[in-house]
Amino acid sequence: MEEILKLSDYDTLFLDRDGVINVHRPNDYVKSWAEFKFMPGILDIFPLFAQRFKKIIVVTNQRGVGKGIMLESTLIEIHEKMIVEINKIGGRIDKIYYCIDVDDCSPYRKPNPGMGLQAKIDFPEIDFSRSLMVGDSDTDMQFGANLGMKSILV
């Protein structure tokens, strides 16, 4: 039997970036703002997210920086421009956490819980049992499970 998701049960929305907010580039990285393309329809739902959730957090692995394929300053610029576009349409992102580590054992690299734990330090009101993780990979689903969140695969 399919479970019915009641959004009123959740206060915090955790989102993966690549494949959820922007179009995933298979076997490549988003290395510039010119390569960043919003997923179809995502900008339409950000205002609804902003109304519904107390906190909206992005958690994203960005190994391309650690590999030297792009600069961290470029990643930050991409995120700043993404936030501007989301804010323009009445949406919001409260904070973006990213991991540039190349080692899968890094405590901050999803599926490990480091970025979520850092969000909890920065926003003590976050209750993982009242949080949703939306992602496009098994790694995202495991990240949510590792923190006791409900996870949704898109």
pLDDT greater at residue 1 or residue 26: 26
- Whether 1 shows a pLDDT value over 60: the answer reads no
pTM: 0.95
Query: What does DSSP say about strands 95-99 and 150-153: parallel, antiparallel, or unpaired?
Result: unpaired
Is 11 one of the annotated active-site residues of the chain? no
pLDDT above 90 as % of the chain: 93
Q: What integer best gives the mean pLDDT of the chain? A: 96
Rounded mean pLDDT, 118-139: 98
Of 9, 11, 16, 44, catalytic: 16
List phi, psi (to 5°) of 85: -65, -40
Of 18, 136, 138, 140, catalytic: 18
What is the pLDDT confidence band of residue 10, given thresholds at 50, 70 and 90? very high
- Whether 3 shows a pLDDT value over 70: the answer reads no
Rounded mean pLDDT, 66-92: 98
- Whether 47 shows a pLDDT value over 50: the answer reads yes
- Whether 2 shows a pLDDT value over 70: the answer reads no
Is 18 one of the annotated active-site residues of the chain? yes
List the 95-99 sheet strands across, edge first: 95-99, 55-61, 12-15, 131-135, 150-153
- Whether 101 shows a pLDDT value over 50: the answer reads yes
Pick from 11, 12, 117, 22: nearest CA to 62: 22
Sign of dihedral through CA atoms 128, 133, 6, 84? positive
